[in-house]
Chain A
Amino acid sequence: MNPDELQKIADRIVAMAAPGEQVEAVVAWSRDTEVRAFEGEVEHFVSADSAGVGIRMISGGKQGLSWAGVLDDAALLECLAEARDNASFGSVDPHAGLAEPDGVEPEELFLFDERLVHADTEEKIRLAVELEAQVRAGDPRIFGIESADYADSVMATALASTTGIRRSSAETSVYLGVYALAGDDEDTTTGFGFSVGRALQDLDLAAAAHEAVQRCIRLLGATKAPSERLTVVLHPYVTSQFLSLIADMLSGESVIRGRSPFAGRVGDSIAAPSFTMFDDATDPLSPTASDTDGEGLACRAVPLIDAGVLSGYLHNAYTARVAGTSSTGSAQRGSHRAAPGVGPHVIKLAPGELSAEEIVSQVGDGFLVYDIAGLHSGVNPVSGDLSVGADGVRIRGGELAEGIREVTIGSTLQKMLGDVVAIGSDLTYFPWESTGVTLAIADVTMSGQ
């Protein structure tokens, strides 16, 4: 379905609002293809269309939601009636309300690449098969492939509301990803690689394969290390996960609920002076850039931490109203099933001057962290306590030394922000809402033997 057809459905629902009711309808459609290759053959090929509608109703300061995975008239009517009924059970909230148009015009971004719509199925299969083959051939120690996938999606969404917001858009995305196994009798390691874009032509298969092979073999023979306090150097992939967490704590939702260690601290110094973080929501190079947010407002750049000083939070219409400010265009909706939450689009650190190699050399003695595990179980977003599983390479005398695995690194996020000692110039994009750079943080506890 195209955005115009979806917009018509959304408009129709909104037109059924009774006097005094605020109604917002989101209608989404996608066509997805997924190919998994194994041992040179197609293991599975999935092709499907899906659609859904989500309705949010606010009446007398009370909110109700309803969604359906079908778009027939009966389902739409039932969905609206359910949302209305659900609203009657909510508590009255003086701040409840939909987003209001704020006059900010959405930027025109290139999110829909027509070439994907006409892409050849055989070519998609070839990519998955070739990816698997290249990884297997990449190093003699690669002994298995857990998955080698090609996936794409053509999506369209439309939103309409009684407050006068109307917008629809379409987007394409392609993904190539592989998860490989390497080792010998003694040791097994795993590694992944991926490439993303908006059409097949954007994909860099060789780079994805190379990345997976490198991730696999670089930690063969790694062992547990003794516990100590040292400087950690985070790989951009790890930094991006770390930044996502900080962005969560700077979401208006955490802040207005008193669940963020950074609540009420705008203007305070919370990080090293070299640390400047912002949501570059419309960066056209990012796979997660967006023109409008989950409530239909224009996405825009949002400053968060400026030279170590907390400058603000991310807000959707509701959290902004509670906080007495205006939306930053940061409403995020996981799907048509969910109420709009708050989240970043493209979190970025202002890059520094040094390359990753220069940072390693400058740190001299430390731990280069390639990967972390258990981030969500190991971080208390309320207190900021952090302890995550990690692997990587010991840095000695400014050079990469022995591999390390099965250790944890621990601190608190607040302390880590203050202990940032170097920021790399190597801005790296990922298919999630945060970018990364090489980042060095002093005085972190590494727990091992």
Chain B
Amino acid sequence: MLEEPTIQRVLAAAASRGADFAEIFAEEKRSSSALLDDGRIEELTSGRDRGAGIRVVVGESTGFAHTSDLSEAGLIAAAETAAAAARGTGGGTTIVDLDRVNAKRPNLVRIMPGDVPKAKKVELLLTANEMARAEGAAITQVSARYADSHRRILVANTDGILGTDDQVKTLFSISAVASGDTGMQTGRESIGRTVGFELFDSYEVADLARTAAQRAITKLAARPAPSGEMTVVIGPGGGGVMFHEACGHGLEADLVGKGASVFAGRLGEQVASSLVTLVDDGTMGGEWGCFAIDDEGRPAQRNVLIQDGILVDYMWDGLRARAEGRASSGNGRRQSYQHLPMVRMTNTYLLGGTSTPEEILSDTESGVYISHLGGGQVNTATGDFVFGMTEAYLIEGGQITEPLREGNLIGNGPAVLTAIDAVGNDFAMGGPGTCGKDGQGVPVGDGVPTLRVATGLTIGGTAA
């Protein structure tokens, strides 16, 4: 994307007023999507973005500017703006030789989505529409979306790092509405991976469509969710978002550093049931949150955050790691060249245990089984969180019985971690997610085995 001599001159301009660190992040991204709604291909959209963000760090202050002009003159102008914004007073870093980062690509892309005829993408949507509607007359509305993106990045900094990455993602999602005497209910399913169009060799859109339609139909017969605190069993793959939100965010070093995390100052302590081992892993081939290098040029890593219930480490980006005199954990990510990097998760998951899912269920006298959690949010300072239950059932006498209508699940991260009293041997990754933090969205993955939270979760239903 950029020649090395140009990069050197831009970094020199960025550090010209004095800097402890300067960085150039260049990005070129192409994306395309197609939308089906109401039986029609509503539209196809394609987009392209390119530009560079320049970051200059002086002491504790960061100056940042970005430009869509990738000419040397354009980049130098942005570098000067960033340098002025950082308010350096001379001195600081010198430019070193750039050393190319050799990071292992987490996977190879076999079919570039850009090479696939648009007609083929449209065909997937039409198939999904047809298959979802074929599940029954109760299905009254279907919408589906296909999307792909190809993002090329280059990162170079005054520490001498020069890294590039090529990130291809493909996604398909479908939503079906079923109508009945009790009103309308929605069922959804999505699949997204950091791969090319070969995604559809492994997944049939017809299956996704049937799953979404069945979810909607099942919910027509659902009764209002109960309310109050109860035992909750979470199904494999369906509840990883809870650990992402309720624990993961609190383990991000930037929030920890500001005291905005319940996990601040607790390294080495027992923060969870001894059944809990929590990992954040950017190297997981093909998963939605994987990459070769992060958006600061560091190779992706597998980081154990909680080992057998003991808090082992936080997640780090370059800035926070630098302040602590340690290495980044490969968690410095940003939405685009127009954004500053921050500590972000990649693929966050709870390792599997030894119980079978049958054992866990039969050992649960009464409670709620959640096979799918929807979006949620957390207050990292208090650990309080809330999630939508998009697919849930009642547990009675050790068996899954009636489906429940949608409701929220609320609780507190640290309390839930200590209340986990069973972890299954059926680990599965969940669907693709977009994690939002400080106005920036990045793709993330999550996963869990079947697990039981004995106490501390409140179901917010509408039943009296």
In the complex, the answer to whether A383 meets B410 with C-beta atoms within 8 Å is no
- A217, chain B: closest CB distance, angstroms: 14
In the complex, the answer to whether A405 meets B384 with C-beta atoms within 8 Å is yes
Known: A47-B65, A69-B68, A337-B47. A89 touches B34 (CB 8 A): yes
- A180, chain B: closest CB distance, angstroms: 9
Taking CB as reference atom, which chain B residue is nearest A376?
Answer: B375
- A106, chain B: closest CB distance, angstroms: 27
Q: Which residues of B contact A69 (CB under 8 A)?
A: 47-51, 68
**Interface residue? B99 (CB, 8 A):** no
**Interface residue? A65 (CB, 8 A):** yes
Bound Cα distance from A65 to B382, whole angstroms? 43
Determine which residue in B34, B46, B262 has the highest number of CB atoms from chain A within 10 A of its CB, and name it: B46
- A175, chain B: closest CB distance, angstroms: 12
**Interface residue? A257 (CB, 8 A):** yes
In the complex, the answer to whether A89 meets B68 with C-beta atoms within 8 Å is no
Taking CB as reference atom, which chain A residue is nearest B255?
Answer: A146
Interface string of A60-93 (1 = CB under 8 A from B): 0001111111100001001100100111011101
Q: For chain A, which range describes its interface: under 10, 10 to 19, 20 to 34, or 35 or more residues?
A: 35 or more
Taking CB as reference atom, which chain A residue is nearest B179?
Answer: A258
- B374, chain A: closest CB distance, angstroms: 5
Known: A89-B41, A380-B185. A388 touches B386 (CB 8 A): yes
Q: Which residues of B contact A207 (CB under 8 A)?
A: none
Interface stretch, picked from B81-89, B161-169, B324-332, B442-450, is B81-89
In the complex, the answer to whether A385 meets B407 with C-beta atoms within 8 Å is yes
In the complex, the answer to whether B61 meets A42 with C-beta atoms within 8 Å is yes
**Interface residue? B285 (CB, 8 A):** no
Known: A382-B184, A385-B405. A258 touches B141 (CB 8 A): yes
- A377, chain B: closest CB distance, angstroms: 3
Bound Cα distance from A32 to B177, whole angstroms? 41
Interface residues of A in 396-427 (CB under 8 A from B): 405-412
A-B contact count (CB 8 A): 261
Interface size on B, residues (CB 8 A): 83
Known: A47-B65, A405-B384. A387 touches B461 (CB 8 A): yes
**Interface residue? B42 (CB, 8 A):** yes
Bound Cα distance from A66 to B118, whole angstroms? 14
Bound Cα distance from A170 to B106, whole angstroms? 45
In the complex, the answer to whether B462 meets A385 with C-beta atoms within 8 Å is yes
Instruction: Decide if the interface of chain B is mainly helix, strand, loop or mixed.
Output: strand
In the complex, the answer to whether B45 meets A45 with C-beta atoms within 8 Å is no
Known: A69-B68, A257-B38. A86 touches B43 (CB 8 A): yes
Known: A43-B60, A259-B141, A373-B386. A86 touches B45 (CB 8 A): yes
Bound Cα distance from A344 to B119, whole angstroms? 35
Interface stretch, picked from B11-19, B201-209, B225-233, is B225-233
- A446, chain B: closest CB distance, angstroms: 8
Partner of A144, one of B48, B259, B379, B412: B259
Taking CB as reference atom, which chain B residue is nearest A391?
Answer: B384
Partner of A67, one of B47, B141, B388: B47
In the complex, the answer to whether B64 meets A82 with C-beta atoms within 8 Å is no
Q: Which residues of B contact A188 (CB under 8 A)?
A: 262, 381-382
**Interface residue? A447 (CB, 8 A):** yes
**Interface residue? A227 (CB, 8 A):** yes
In the complex, the answer to whether B260 meets A449 with C-beta atoms within 8 Å is no
**Interface residue? B338 (CB, 8 A):** yes
Taking CB as reference atom, which chain B residue is nearest A39?
Answer: B60
Taking CB as reference atom, which chain A residue is nearest B260?
Answer: A146
**Interface residue? A273 (CB, 8 A):** no
In the complex, the answer to whether A145 meets B387 with C-beta atoms within 8 Å is no
Partner of B388, one of A41, A374, A383: A374
**Interface residue? B408 (CB, 8 A):** yes
**Interface residue? A51 (CB, 8 A):** yes
In the complex, the answer to whether A66 meets B41 with C-beta atoms within 8 Å is no
- B248, chain A: closest CB distance, angstroms: 17
**Interface residue? A163 (CB, 8 A):** no
**Interface residue? A110 (CB, 8 A):** no
Bound Cα distance from A373 to B385, whole angstroms? 8
Bound Cα distance from A378 to B462, whole angstroms? 11
Determine which residue in B42, B49, B60, B386 has the highest number of CB atoms from chain A within 10 A of its CB, and name it: B386
- A448, chain B: closest CB distance, angstroms: 7
Bound Cα distance from A68 to B45, whole angstroms? 11
- A69, chain B: closest CB distance, angstroms: 4
- A128, chain B: closest CB distance, angstroms: 12
A-B contact pairs, 19 of them (CB 8 A): A39-B60, A41-B60, A44-B64, A45-B87, A82-B46, A188-B381, A258-B184, A339-B43, A373-B379, A374-B375, A374-B408, A382-B185, A383-B185, A383-B406, A388-B408, A389-B386, A407-B410, A408-B227, A449-B228
Q: Which residues of A contact B (CB under 8 A)?
A: 38-39, 41-51, 63-70, 75, 78-79, 82, 85-87, 89-91, 93, 143-147, 181, 188-190, 224, 227, 229, 257-259, 261, 337, 339, 373-374, 376-378, 380, 382-389, 405-412, 445, 447-449
- List the 9 closest pairs (A to B, CB-CB), nearest first: A408-B460, A377-B388, A447-B227, A374-B386, A389-B386, A69-B49, A91-B40, A86-B44, A45-B85
